[in-house]
Each structure stands twice: as C-alpha cells, then as structure tokens.
C-alpha cells in the first residue's frame, strides 16, 4: 500500500490511512511533531490525536507498521 516514510498529501492518501488505520507522522519543518491515526481530514486540515494540523504548515508521512 504505502512505503514507510512516504510523503502523503492527497485526499485519497488520507482516506486510505483513515480506512486502513495506518499511522501518520507529522513534521513541522524537519522536526517530528506528532504521530497518530487520521481521525478526519479536509482540504485544509488533518485531525490526529484530537488536534487539527494545517496541510499547508505541516508535512505528513506514512508510517505503516509503527
């Protein structure tokens, strides 16, 4: 499905991760910020761990097997 460390950015990426319960790691610049499961997503935000992350401000990485 997705490689460990693969950048995810399209709606269908987040939909796949939500449906299959694949963890997503959140980066702010080059620094790890959070990791968790996609609870909700929109064109502007991703919700993980009850926190909304801006898709413009943060980078999201697939972490299958975490």
Residue 29's domain is classified under what CATH number?
A: 2.30.30.100
Confidence of residue 66 (pLDDT cuts 50, 70, 90): confident
In whole angstroms, what is the distance from residue 42 CA to residue 1 CA? 22
Range of the domain at 26: 6-62
SS3 22: coil
User: Is 11 domain-assigned?
Assistant: yes
What is the residue-wise DSSP string for 29-57? Answer: TTEEEEEE-EEEE-SSEEEETTEEEETTT
Q: For residues 41 and 48, is the Cβ–Cβ distance under 8 A?
A: no
pLDDT over 90 (residue 8): yes
Confidence (pTM):
0.92
In whole angstroms, what is the distance from residue 10 CA to residue 44 CA? 11
| Total tally of structural domains belonging to the chain | 1
């Amino acid at each position: 499905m997705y490689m460990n460390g693969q950048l995810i950015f399209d709606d269908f990426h987040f939909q796949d991760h939500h449906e299959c319960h694949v963890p997503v790691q959140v980066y702010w610049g080059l620094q790890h910020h959070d990791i968790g499961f996609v609870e909700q997503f929109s064109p502007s935000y991703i919700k993980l761990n009850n926190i909304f992350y801006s898709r413009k401000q943060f980078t999201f990485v697939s972490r299958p097997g975490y």
